[in-house]
Chain A
Amino acid sequence: MSTPSALATIEATLADIEARNPILNAFTAVTADRARARAADLDASRAAGRAKLPLEGMPFAVKNLIDIAGLPTLAGSKINRSRPPAEEDATLVTRLEAAGAILVGALNMGEYAYDFTGENVHDGPSRNPHDTTRMTGGSSGGSGATVGGALVPLALGSDTNGSIRVPASFCGVFGLKATFGRLSRAGSFPFVASLDHLGPLARTVDDLALAYDAMQGPDPADPVCVDRPIEPVTDLLARGTDGLRIAILGGYFHQGATQQALDAVASVASALGATRLMELPEPARARAAAFVITTTEGAALHLDRLRTRAGDFDPAVRDRLIAGALLPASLVTRAQKFRRWYREAVLKLFDDVDILLAPATPCSAPLIGETELDLGGEVVPLRPNIGIYTQPISFIGLPVAAVPVRGTSLPIGVQLIAAPWREDLVLRAAWQLEQSGFRSV
């Protein structure tokens, strides 16, 4: 059977987006002309004898805080609509297209990425493809909706406290938050410079790994991006978990979790033959410190807009940012001191283990509009607590793959966590799980 041309793939993708995006509300812009032109170019050069590229003809879309030349970078806000169009694509967009992928649009997100729900007061909520009355999770809500709904096989999101892993969990797809500093953030609208990551969501581990490999590499335009050689993982996937030591995170990572979340971890652990329990040191304090750094750095970023355009923010974002602006700086420095202590304490665990398992979210997707969450019998505000299991991990930049687990009605994700720079291990484990039936829903 012959492979369809890139143009045929793109036409089918664009038709699917036109038909189903009104329901999912995943896209805020569709770059149809650009995608068709790129596809035609790829088909022409391939016909002329060019070797096949790793992501040849694969449609992808990006969270709308990632620059697309010719479009204003909204970052989910009303305020940014008055920004001039981006002059260039973000580094990761350029790298994916160099590997043969084709950009088809920009994706809905929670305002300024300060969100775990996927709701947006300006563009409306992105909707969960498995039950459109439910949240996608956020803030990369459109990324979860479009990959979960199979409109595209690959999307980019950002993850400051869990914003790739939460929508991957709620929408039943794979997600990768690489080590802090591994993937360039150049050409993206920031949120929390100390914690921001960009990364992929995909329907298969192969696509996740291919995209990750294509995006690696130093980038002088992002001072956080490390000067580290590219370490490809795609050819390593089939090694699976052979020889790896795997443990389940207990304590904090069990408290408050629904039975579905606990069952999901247990099923992944069983598939990987993991029985050992470990605990992170001080995860609740780590989550608290991540919260403090997030709200204060976010406030610093938006201070001028809070002074001049406060009424144009999503109120739920604005009020938290104003509160963050009022926190004494001495407390923020304490949080950054704790961050270093916590990193050193957690890294010691990896002397004795290669992969740690934890729920990605305490529950599957809540109904859109819900504001409270039952966390182990305690009713708490939903918005900040969806990320209780993701925040202590991204706080110190560990690489994580989110793996989907089918529920009886809705999917939920499990985090596979490794030591810094060991994305290969979490992707190998994710690949092995996919082979044994843990597939995108």
Chain B
Amino acid sequence: MQDSELDALIDAGTHALGIRIDPSWRQEIRASLAVTLRFAALVEAHNLPDEAEPAPVFRA
């Protein structure tokens, strides 16, 4: 994602969650978000069947 797209996600997401960020924090947040999205994409690229259960299993 481009920096401008990451910034749009930061702005919308922090607004939705009620987190106020100082402008001086943005660069590190953007860098962390880019790494996290890259790692998430790596995980997502591993195809799993619809029936695959997530690891946590709740038992009543």
Contact = CB atoms under 8 A, between A and B. Distances in A.
Contact of B36 (A303, A306, A327, A333): A327
Nearest to B9: A326
A307 B19 contact: yes
B23 interface: no
B40 A282 contact: no
Chain A interface bracket (under 10, 10 to 19, 20 to 34, 35 or more):
35 or more
Interface in A304-334: 306-307, 310-311, 315-316, 318-320, 322-327, 331, 333-334
Contacts of A81: none
A341 B48 contact: yes
Given A282-B46, A310-B21, A326 B13 contact: yes
A276 interface: no
Contact of A323 (B36, B43, B48, B54): B36
Interface residues of B, number: 31
B29 to A, nearest CB: 5
Interface string B19-32: 11110010011101
A340 B53 contact: yes
B42 interface: yes
B19 A306 contact: yes
A336 B55 contact: yes
B40 A335 contact: yes
A343 B32 CA distance: 27
Contacts of B60: none
Interface stretch (A135-143, A284-292, A423-431): A284-292
A194 interface: yes
Contacts, number: 106
Interface in A331-354: 331, 333-341, 343
A295 interface: yes
Contacts of B29: 319, 322-323
A265 B50 CA distance: 40
A289 to B, nearest CB: 5
Contacts of A340: 52-55
B37 A327 contact: yes
A292 B43 contact: yes
Contacts of A325: 13-14, 17, 19
Contacts of A295: 32, 36
Nearest to A335: B43
B44 interface: yes
Given A288-B40, A307-B18, A341-B46, A336 B56 contact: yes
B36 A291 contact: yes
B55 A285 contact: no
B39 A291 contact: yes
- Of A282, A284, A285, A319, chain B has the most CB atoms within 10 Å of the CB of A319
Contact of A289 (B17, B18, B43, B56): B43
Contact of B55 (A282, A307, A339): A339
B42 A315 contact: no
Given A285-B42, A292-B40, A326 B33 contact: yes
Contact of B10 (A318, A326, A334): A326
Interface in A273-300: 282, 284-285, 288-289, 291-292, 295
22 contacts: A284-B42, A285-B46, A288-B40, A291-B36, A310-B21, A315-B28, A320-B28, A324-B32, A325-B14, A325-B17, A326-B9, A326-B33, A327-B37, A331-B43, A331-B44, A335-B40, A336-B55, A337-B53, A339-B54, A339-B55, A340-B54, A340-B55
Given A292-B40, A310-B21, A333-B54, 8 more contacts: A291-B39, A310-B19, A310-B22, A319-B25, A323-B36, A326-B13, A334-B48, A340-B54
